[in-house]
Structure 1
Amino acid sequence: MVIMDATNGNLIMSEHIAEPNGNPCIEPGAFRSIEIVSYILFGIGPLVGNAVLTLLGPVSIDFLVDPTSILIAIPSFMFPFAIVQLFSGALSDSYGRIPIIAGGLVGFLAGLVLISFATSITMFALSHLVAGVGFGFVNPVLLALLSDCSPPADIPKRMGIASALASFGVGLGPFIAGQMAIISWQLYYLVILSIVFVGLIAITIANRPPKMIHGASGIRALINNLKIELRKPVVLFMIVTTFLITLAYLGTMIWTSRGLTGAVSESSTGLMLLFAGIFGSVAGILLGRIIRNRGYGFSIIVGIVPLFSSLFLFLLIGDITLIEVIPLVGVALVLVGWAGGILFPLMITYSQVISPERRGVLAGVVTSASFFGVALIPSVYEPLFHLGMPLLYLGILGVSVLLLIFISILYWRIEPPEYH
């Protein structure tokens, strides 16, 4: 049981995370349509945020800049995306899930329109900023919405499915974008825009669960909810662990893509990222079953071992641009894709069982930590990239060692409910 100091909200002892006593949804099956729409929308973010990985060449040619300059789109999208998530989940705890999601999708659509008609690197970056702000109001709230009408035992499964779709999007986005770039890179964003527009209509008209308000509303209640959770050491460990997972997992994906630019075709790079995304999505789907049958500790091992194996393989490969080692590069990317597909949804699952009454808050801070990591990946690793890919992978290996330390501490500090 979690014992809380009533005077300051600090976590004194955490031996076991209690499951909620009841579920407000009387007929969960009645909300299947909104569940499906939520899954689809959750997978859209990576389709936009990571598509640029195979568009570095085509976009740089249009804008007459160096391909590395196009990576500015990643922090331009991810920084506002991460910042907004700090409070969007908490806002949904106070004002309801659907209104926050719908408003965010409108902003996201505006950003996609601007990206599609960008004529310079500056407009391209600012358009991603608008899209990032909009989707920041969507991402964590979808997770909270999926948890609201889920029995406690099904939360790992739902978080795994959502993360599986996101992992698949990490690979699918660059793959499709690489193929569409043959015609026009703008066409890719217009297609995503159409899907999001349909999703906006669907989620506003779908049968939805009762409006769930946790506690008082207003800015003061919002800030108070954030303070309560951020005072807990276990939440801080969870945030840092999520941040490190992103630096290791997506850092490897992003900079490997950059290292292959110019040496390997966009379609080939996209295909390798697609397979990495597929394995990540399979891992996410299996996570719920792994947790149920073997527990959280085994799930951590299943994620950490492939991550380290991938980095050691990259170090053995050396020059990733040689044609004869491309298959091994693909294997290494598949391994890191699997690792991300296990470790990131594991953190999301933690966030949804620690404090059921503030799921929006915790979904927001965890996803925010992840996307702060994504936003920092270009600047953190660029100096190492100029020194050579082996040194870059050594840097990521160092981050992974820190990750191993933090995730081990996190596991020993909390004991999520084991479902049998």
Structure 2
Amino acid sequence: MSEASPGQPTPSQRARLRVAAVYVGAALGPLGGGVVAPMLPQIGQTLGVSAHTVALSLTVYMVPFAAVQLLSGTLGERWGRRNTVRVAYLVYLVASLVCGLAPNITVFLAGRAVQGLANGFTSPLLLAGLADMVPRDKLSRSVGISASCQAAGMSFAPLVGGVAAASSWRWAYLAVAVAAGTLALVPPPGQRRPGAAAPRWRPLLTGQIALLSVAALVSYMAAGSLPFLVALYAQDHLRLRPDLTGLALLGFGLAGMLLGAVWGSVLERASARWCGAIAALVTGGLVAAVGLTGSVSALTVAWTAAGVGSSMLTVALQNLTVRAVPANRSGALSVVSAFRFSGSALAPVAWLPLYQVDPSLAFAMAGSSLLLAAAALLALP
């Protein structure tokens, strides 16, 4: 058995490095997508537009990110997972530099759109690559760690953006560009699969993928994308200052960051289908309870507990999806992820009108909709 040359990493060290790169890559997407949120006023001031106009960058990022995932997994497998992810990271690097150097809002929004497009290729292919790099009996825990890293990216994005905004918001995009360039050096394995070896679209057109897509969409629409509604409730009805609202909401993301690996280990010994369904029901009850809280402490406890349940639901969904179509794992992950993040776009449309009528009704309906996610998971074969 050959050994590595002096100073060169061994095969096992290279394998661990690739796995670590997948985990860091899982955090980069939500970090780069959400870092803009605390910097909206500063970006608007620099580019000569209102913060509300800059806020369009959130939508401009999410729409191509979600839409391209209907195709990106299968296309990436056909082109070669390794090369596709490397190119996507390099495109993300360039787009981040465009954002950081943008002279006007048009260029900035264009850069954000390209960021979202590139991230739509990296996310599913990284998770599919992870499934090929770790032993099958360790896959559930590895998927849980990946979910924790995604939650970490979402949780720390406001912190990174806020720190950058204190000096110059442009530094945040430079940091994201450097991270993308570094990750491009360590893409996941996966060669081009042409001709008869190419993954097919037809295996994705199944009831199993449809049920997972429904569960993923509802899980994000009714829980993962509700911080905006919780923040409104905290400020409108509990009279919480905006600077303290973020602290009250922080527990949801921290729960996902800290518990992903734990839930992955649980799913190595338990049914992901049943765990996901139970998590959906528990999370639904806690989301509904948020709208009934009368104090900041009660809201913080209820929302953090909802984050615990939502974390289990996310890890269960990812575990079920990564195993759903072995012949086109990336395709399955990208399609389900497209529906998952479509929930982000639907959440304000679905819940804000109800909130304006009665806040408790909005939270009750959001929580009740998770019954649909539980039913979809239990209906899986």
Shift of 1:287: 1.7
Q: Do the aligned partners of 2:277 and 2:377 also contact (CA within 8 Å) in 1?
A: no
Alpha-carbon spacing, 1:58–1:379, altered in 2? closer, same or farther (3 Å): farther
Q: CA deviation at 1:251?
A: 2.3
Deviation at 1:64, TM superposition (A): 4.5
Alignment CA distance shift 1:73-1:391 (3 Å): farther
The yes-or-no answer on 1:343 pairing with 2:323 is no
Note if 1:251 corresponds to 2:200.
Answer: no
- Correspondent of 1:286 among 238, 262, 272: 262
CA apart distance, 1:186: 3.1
**Aligned with residue 315 of structure 1, among 286, 291, 311:** 291
Calculate the TM-score normalised by the size of structure 1. Answer: 0.77
Kindly report which structure 2 residues correspond to 1:7-406, keeping only aligned pairs within 5 A, or say none.
30-59=14-43, 64-65=49-50, 67=52, 70-118=54-102, 122-201=106-185, 203=186, 209=189, 211=191, 213=193, 216=196, 225-230=200-205, 232-257=206-231, 268-300=244-276, 303-317=279-293, 325-387=295-357, 389-406=359-376
Distance 1:36 1:153, change over 3 A: same
| Secondary structure of residue in 1 paired with 2:292 | helix
Which residue type is aligned with residue 191 of structure 2?
Answer: K
Please give the root-mean-square deviation of Cα atoms over the aligned residues, in Å: 2.9
Q: 1:372 to 1:133 in 2, by over 3 A?
A: same
CA contact 1:306–1:338 (8 Å) conserved in 2? no
How far residue 140 of structure 1 moved from its aligned partner, in angstroms, is: 0.5
Distance 2:141 2:300 in 1: 28
Distance 1:314 1:308 in 2: 10
Q: Deviations over 1:264-287 (max 9, x none)?
A: 666544444443222112231112
User: Could you tell me how far apart the structure 2 residues matched to 1:397 and 1:119 are?
Assistant: 43
Contact 2:219 2:280 in 1 (8 A): no
Letter in 2 for 1:150: V
The question of whether the paired residues in 1 share the 8 Å contact of 2:272 and 2:319 is answered with no
Letter of the 1:211 partner, please give it. Q
Change over 3 Å in CA distance of 1:274–1:161 after alignment to 2: same
Contact 1:55-1:266 at 8 Å conserved across structures: no
One-letter amino acid matched to 1:393? F
Superposed CA offset, 1:59-98 (max 9, x none):
456554364x554323211111122222221123223211
Counterpart residue type for residue 312 of structure 1: A
How far is 1:155 from its partner?
A: 1.9
The TM-score with structure 2 as length reference comes to: 0.85
C-alpha distance in structure 1 between counterparts of 2:194 and 2:326, whole Å: 10
Which residue pairs with 1:4 in the alignment?
Answer: none
- Contact 1:251–1:377 (8 Å) recurs in 2: yes
Aligned to 1:293, what secondary structure does the other structure show? coil
Contact 2:255 2:311 in 1 (8 A): yes
Q: In 1, are the aligned partners of 2:285 and 2:367 still within 8 Å (CA)?
A: no
Equivalent-residue separation in structure 1 for 2:44 and 2:261 (angstroms): 36
Equivalent residue letter for 2:256: G
C-alpha distance after superposition, 1:243-299 (max 9, x if no partner) = 111111222123334566797666544444443222112231112221123332552
Deviation of 1:123 (Å): 4.3
Deviation of 1:336 after TM superposition, in Å, equals 2.8
Q: 1:327 corresponds to which letter in structure 2?
A: S
In the aligned structure 2, how far is the partner of 1:240 from the partner of 1:36? 30
Q: How far, CA to CA, are the matches of 1:35 and 1:97 in structure 2? A: 14
Please, which runs of 5 or more residues in structure 2 have no aligned partner? 1-10
Cα shift at 1:118: 4.2
Residue identity matched to 2:214: V
Aligned residues: 368
For structure 1, the 5+ residue unaligned runs are 1-26, 319-324, 415-420
Residue type at the aligned position of 1:98: R
- Asked whether the equivalents of residues 174 and 274 of structure 1 are also in contact (C-alpha less than 8 Å), the reply is no
Residue aligned with 1:211, SS: coil
Identity %: 22
